């Protein structure tokens, strides 16, 4: 009996041991399964954390690019330092020019006195403006919407150049692409005075190469009068204008312009039209234009041709010819002018450059105003009462010192002579006038 108990007790202990081992094995397997699940969860959490980090880095990179394009506007140095702000497909540029001049002039008034005083900018009008574009697509031939607003002022007084007209130089909107060219609508330069036409030969201060940009010589001082032959029915700029210009890959630059007259009931009265053609060769440019205008139902016309040639790296020679005619008030006959000019720009390198020029304006039966002065080309001739003939010749020159790309100083002179019945307003009716000016220009 005792032995049986011992056997039973041993069997119970063995069974308990087996059960205990089985329970320990189950727990071990459960623990292992739990550990594996925890490891899988930890790996998933790590993967999520890595993905979140990558997203955060990508967001930071995009934010940096966006911040750079918006908060850090580019600065253009080519024209002195104009400020351009660009964002995506849009860009806008603020630019300007300030020119101050102290000059000495003989026969500066009707009394024939010599005067020394500040004057309106010698070389070009003081101005500020905004220009910009919006790209409507991508690629080399994407169409862009373009605009320009430009205002002129007088540096000596701060007054508007044209009182009551804020954007008297430019106020236009247009489209541009390589295949279309440049098409603009509104107030802008008369095409004939631009670098697509006579600006490449009118004087030595403009661009040597024809282009679709605005520019060209001005009407300041004794020698700056050829520009009127490159005018229109509204002067050297056009109102209500439509202008197309295109630079072709073979060096040709073509242009066409029409300005609506704005006279109620008459489509043509007060209108003007111009065609231009230029070619940029290797070291030379040739150009020309033809303009016809209706001013109070009288026809004015100009045909002009000219160009320039680069002689080495230092010397550029310019020459041009203008033939102008205008109908005048009944009984006075037509006005017929012929004019020509030669000039040179010398750039020896360094901070200095030099310019010289000579021009002749020969007027035949030209209308005169109430003071007896010969009227500018494209002036209203419907009410003139007298005419005059004669020559107007001007010799001029200048020296520029360029402090940097934005700032320059100059010394300039010109000498004006007239013959026969030609009286020039700039000489106050005297046969000659001399000017000497010293000035400073800043471009931004």
* Same domain for 64 and 139: no
* Same domain for 15 and 96: no
Count of CB atoms situated within 10 Å of the CB of 343: 23
Q: In the listed set 72, 90, 125, which residue is the last one of a domain according to the structure?
A: 72
Task: Give the pLDDT confidence of 293-322 residue by residue, as tens digits.
Answer: 999 999 999 999 999 999 999 999 999 999
Query: Can you tell me whether residue 193 is helix, strand or coil?
Result: helix
- Please give the pLDDT value at position 322: 98
* Same domain for 337 and 250: yes
Whole-number Å distance between alpha carbons of 251 and 209:
10
Contact 40, 48 (CB under 8 A): no
Whole-number Å distance between alpha carbons of 1 and 316:
138
Count of CB atoms situated within 10 Å of the CB of 229: 27
Give just the sign of the alpha carbon dihedral 72, 78, 83, 87.
negative
DSSP 78-136: TTS--EEEEETTEEEEEEEEEEEEEEEESS-STT---EEEEES-SSS-EEEEEEEEEES
Task: Give me the number of domains the chain comprises.
Answer: 2
Burial of 11 (0-12, 13-18, 19+ CB in 10 A): exposed
Give pTM, 2 decimals: 0.81
* Same domain for 177 and 308: yes
- Closest of 156, 147, 128 to residue 188, by C-alpha: 147
Q: In the listed set 30, 47, 72, which residue is the last one of a domain according to the structure?
A: 72
For residue 193, what are its two tokens?
Answer: 């005075």
Q: What percent of the chain lies above the pLDDT cut of 90?
A: 73
DSSP 5-40: HHHHHHHHHHHHHHHHHHHHHHHHHHHHHHHHHHHH
Average pLDDT, the chain: 86
Q: Which domain holds residue 5?
A: 1-72
Task: Give the pLDDT confidence of 71-127 residue by residue, as tens digits.
Answer: 444 434 344 578 999 999 999 999 999 999 999 999 999 999 999 999 888 888 899
For residue 29, what are its two tokens?
Answer: 């397997």
- Please give the pLDDT value at position 292: 98
Count of CB atoms situated within 10 Å of the CB of 293: 25
Burial of 102 (0-12, 13-18, 19+ CB in 10 A): middle
- Please give the pLDDT value at position 255: 98
Where residue 189 sits, what CATH number does that domain have? 2.40.160.10
* Same domain for 58 and 102: no
Q: Which residues on neighbouring strands pair with residue 356, listed in sequence order?
A: 344, 397
* Same domain for 83 and 65: no
* Same domain for 21 and 105: no
* Same domain for 215 and 179: yes
- Please give the pLDDT value at position 190: 97
Task: Give the pLDDT confidence of 281-294 residue by residue, as tens digits.
Answer: 999 999 999 999 99
Task: Give the pLDDT confidence of 204-216 residue by residue, as tens digits.
Answer: 999 999 999 999 8
Task: Give the pLDDT confidence of 217-255 residue by residue, as tens digits.
Answer: 877 788 889 999 999 999 999 999 999 999 999 999 999
* Same domain for 233 and 207: yes
Contact 308, 287 (CB under 8 A): no
Q: In the listed set 56, 72, 88, which residue is the last one of a domain according to the structure?
A: 72
Count the residues in the chain: 444
* Same domain for 416 and 291: yes
* Same domain for 152 and 64: no
- Degrees (nearest 5) of the Cα angle 288, 332, 224? 40
Contact 291, 320 (CB under 8 A): no
* Same domain for 292 and 195: yes
């Amino acid at each position: 009996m005792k032995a049986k108990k011992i056997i039973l007790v041993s069997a119970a202990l063995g069974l308990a041991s087996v059960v205990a081992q089985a329970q320990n094995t189950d727990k071990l397997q459960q623990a292992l399964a739990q550990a594996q699940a925890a490891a899988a969860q930890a790996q998933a959490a790590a993967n999520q954390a890595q993905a979140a980090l990558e997203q955060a880095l990508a967001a930071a990179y995009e934010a940096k690019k966006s911040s750079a394009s918006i908060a850090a506007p580019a600065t253009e140095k080519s024209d002195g330092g104009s400020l351009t702000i660009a964002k995506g497909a849009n860009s806008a540029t603020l630019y300007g020019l300030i020119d101050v001049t102290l000059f000495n002039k003989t026969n500066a008034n009707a009394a024939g006195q010599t005067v020394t005083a500040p004057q309106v900018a010698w070389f070009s009008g003081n101005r500020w403006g905004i220009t910009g574009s919006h790209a409507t697509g991508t690629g080399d031939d994407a169409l862009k919407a373009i605009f320009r607003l430009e205002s002129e002022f007088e540096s000596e007084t701060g007054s508007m150049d044209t009182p009551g007209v804020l954007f008297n130089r430019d106020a236009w909107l247009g489209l541009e692409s390589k295949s279309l060219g440049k098409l603009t609508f509104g107030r802008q330069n008369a095409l004939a005075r631009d670098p697509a036409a006579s600006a490449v030969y009118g004087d030595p201060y403009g661009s040597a190469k024809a282009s679709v940009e605005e520019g060209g010589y001005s009407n300041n001082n004794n020698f700056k009068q050829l520009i009127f032959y490159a005018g229109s029915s509204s002067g050297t700029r056009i109102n209500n204008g439509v202008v197309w210009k295109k630079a072709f890959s073979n060096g040709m630059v073509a242009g066409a312009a029409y300005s609506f007259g704005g006279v109620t009931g008459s489509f043509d009265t007060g209108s003007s039209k111009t065609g231009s053609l230029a070619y940029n060769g290797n070291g030379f440019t040739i150009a020309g234009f033809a303009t016809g205008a209706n001013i109070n139902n009288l026809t004015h016309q100009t045909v002009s041709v000219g160009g320039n040639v680069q002689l080495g790296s230092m010397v550029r020679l310019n020459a041009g010819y203008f033939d102008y005619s205008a109908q005048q008030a009944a009984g006075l006959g037509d006005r017929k002018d012929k004019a020509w000019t030669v000039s040179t720009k010398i750039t020896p390198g360094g901070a200095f450059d030099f310019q010289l020029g000579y021009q002749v304006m020969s007027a035949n039966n030209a209308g005169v105003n109430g003071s007896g002065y010969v009227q500018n080309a494209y002036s209203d001739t419907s009410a003139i009462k007298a005419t005059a003939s004669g020559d107007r010749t001007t010799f001029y020159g200048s020296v520029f010192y360029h402090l940097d790309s934005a700032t320059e100083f100059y010394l300039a002179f010109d000498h004006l002579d007239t013959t026969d019945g030609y009286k020039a307003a700039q000489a106050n009716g005297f046969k000659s006038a001399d000017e000497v000016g010293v000035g400073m220009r800043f471009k931004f």
